[in-house]
Amino acid sequence: MSSQAPVKRVTVPDISKRKNKEPIVSLTAYHAHTARIIDPYVDFLLVGDSLGMVMHGFESTVPVPLDLMIMHGSAVVRGSQQALVVVDMPFGSYEESPQIAFRNASRVMKETGCGAIKLEGGTSMAETITYLTERGIPVMGHIGLTPQSVNMMGGFKTQGRDKSEWAALEKDAKAVSDAGAFSVVIEGVAELLAARITKKIEIPTIGIGASAACDGQILVLEDMLGLSPIVPKFVKKYGNLGSAIEEAVKSYAEEVKSRTFPGEENTYKMRSESPSPAKRATKKSKISGT
């Protein structure tokens, strides 16, 4: 029997309590191995629908199906043990009515084991957020640059850099908070507005391209690791995994071609053959000192 106490996952109320406190740390995660590595350092892992672009090469998040979110969501829950896991509702799975949103969000919760879902939209989604939260589904909002609306916006456009846009965005933030969301992602928003919203609403704001004024930060893992070919200005690269992968694969290709891989240490022998002739020779030279 293990004497180690089971690790307790971060809960939705734990995140809510972090308003105006120590900044909330979060990253996206799409698969079990990376979830396991980053889990100890983050408060929540977001299985973002950005996985459609990052993992599957779509040009936007619009084509992502619900079943794909469920597959990746369950992998991240299995790979992690302490962070809250939040799964994105993909485009078309929640906008039509609060009832349809509940049907799909409850599938996500049951089939992945995640602790909360995220959906995009402000005032237009307030009724749905209330419907879900009153029925046991914790909701993280997402306002500002909402990538699922890329076709309405005509591209991924920063929001709130003109004061004329502020009123609508502030209304969105308040609507999401009043509707019962436990926190809200603010994406691609000018610093002054992000700071104003953060001061005005009662739930923690999670910034991505929305300045250090927010209550927490999120980045797409592959962007900050230097794996994505193009990244927006707000991303800081904390690693250069793209070059590291290329170097490793180059060495592998060279060694396959020169037959230096697989080596003795990577090769299975017949039981009757062991120790291998090479090892026997090494043993002999060690004994004789040659």
Q: Footprint of ligand KIV on this chain (CB under 6 A)?
A: 28, 46, 48-50, 88, 142, 185, 187, 208, 218, 220
Of 109 and 220, which CB lies nearer to ligand KIV in the complex structure?
220
Q: Strands (DSSP E) along the chain, which ranges?
A: 24-28, 44-47, 84-88, 116-118, 139-144, 183-187, 205-208, 216-219
Nearest approach, Cβ of residue 207 and ligand KIV (Å): 9
- CA distance linking residue 185 with residue 144, whole number of Å: 8
Minimum gap (Å) between residue 9 Cβ and ligand KIV:
20
Nearer to ligand KIV, 44 or 166 (CB): 44
Query: 132 or 184: whose CB is closer to ligand KIV?
Result: 184
Residue tagged active-site, from 59, 111, 170, 187? 187
CA separation, residue 226 to residues 13, 25, 73, 123, 249 (Å) = 33, 19, 23, 35, 16
CB of 158 to ligand KIV, least distance (A): 14
Q: In the numeric block, which tokens belong to residue 202?
A: 């009662």
Q: Shortest approach of ligand KIV to residue 189 CB, angstroms?
A: 12
187 catalytic per annotation: yes
Closer residue to ligand KIV, CB minimum distance, 98 or 207: 207
Count Cβ neighbours within 10 Å for each residue of 27-61 and write b for 16 or more, e otherwise. Answer: bbbbbbebbeebbeebbbbbbbbbbbbbeeeeebb
Euclidean distance between CA atoms 74 and 95, whole angstroms: 23
CA angle 230, 75, 9 (to 5 degrees): 105
Count CB-CB contacts under 10 A for residue 18.
Answer: 18
Least gap, CB of 58 to ligand KIV (angstroms): 12
Catalytic residues: 187
